[in-house]
Amino acid sequence: MIRKKRKVSYCFFGILLVVACLCFYSCCVVEIPYKVTKGTVKAAYTVTKFAGKTVYTIGKFTFKVVMAPLTWPLAQKDIESIDGLPPKDAIRQGRVKDTPYVVNGKRYVPMNVKEAETYRQKGIASWYGYETYRKKGGQMTANGETFDPEGLNAAHKYLPLPTFVWVTNLENSRRIALRVNDRGPFVKGRIIDLSAGAAKKLGFYKKGTARVLVETVKLEG
């Protein structure tokens, strides 16, 4: 009889312990909108500066970086504030790399540079900038660069600006390097917005979206 009572008490104690653990973990789980994994993707690069342009070369990919006049409109017009300032004031003061920003009343908090080094995520990519083809003049990205709809650039909600990434189209295995210099996409279920030029190189320009793998690149050189 005593042994049975002990067994019952042990079982009751075990159940309480399991319930307590479940409660503890449910309170401590923090959901984040991106994945950070072990390991860092590295790549060699070169930088050339001339005539107001900075040119980065990563393997066979070339990136021409030109700062836009502050009179130009933002390519992502839904950005309401950056670091608590009007977007162009934040851009002028250089406060755009990994500072919080607001879009349509929602506050986004980017990851810091160290966190971004091991970022890796699979999801849906889309492309943006179609409206720029019909407009005169240029448009500005969220970090103050000239938006090039045919360039190798992209928009991301959480990566620091700028960040270089490898993007692989998982539907056809095409892979290219891109420079993230803008914010977006702000459509549910999408993780990255590419320029039209990048979408063409990855083979989903006509389709509009594709399932991709995005990995940050740590530049060495």
The answer to the question of residue 35 being in a domain is: no
Asked if the structure places residue 31 within a domain, the reply is no
Residue 191 lies in a domain: yes
Q: What's the domain count of the chain?
A: 1
CATH code where residue 107 lies: 2.40.40.10
The least confident of 42-46, 53-57, 132-136 is 132-136
CA distances from 6 to 2, 10, 20 (A): 6, 6, 21
pLDDT value at residue 19: 40
pLDDT > 50? residue 189 = yes
- Identify whether the C-beta of residue 211 lies closer than 8 Å to the C-beta of residue 123: yes
Domain that holds residue 202: 41-220
Overall average pLDDT of the 154-180 stretch: 97
Tell me, yes or no, whether 94 lies in a domain: yes
What pLDDT is stored for residue 212 in this prediction? 98
Q: Among 153, 33, 190, 159, which residue's Cα sits nearest to residue 96?
A: 159
Query: Comparing 44-58, 77-91, 205-219, which segment has the lowest mean pLDDT?
Result: 44-58
Q: Would residue 146 count as lying in a domain?
A: yes
Looking at residue 167, its pLDDT comes to 98
Confidence class for position 176, pLDDT limits 50, 70, 90: very high
Tell me what pLDDT residue 27 has.
Answer: 34
Q: Please check whether residue 134 lies inside any domain of the structure.
A: yes
d(Cα 172, Cα 153) in Å, to the nearest integer?
20
| CA atoms of 34 and 56, how far apart (whole Å) | 27
Whether 211 maps to a domain, the answer reads yes
Dihedral over Cα of 144, 146, 150, 151: its sign: negative
Residue from 107, 72, 112 nearest 88 by CA: 72
Q: What is the DSSP letter of 104?
A: T
Let me know if residue 15 belongs to a domain.
no
E strands of the chain, at which residues? 41-44, 46-50, 53-58, 61-65, 79-82, 101-103, 106-108, 120-127, 153-155, 163-169, 175-182, 190-194, 209-220
pTM as predicted:
0.80
Q: Are 116 and 160 in contact (CB under 8 A)?
A: yes
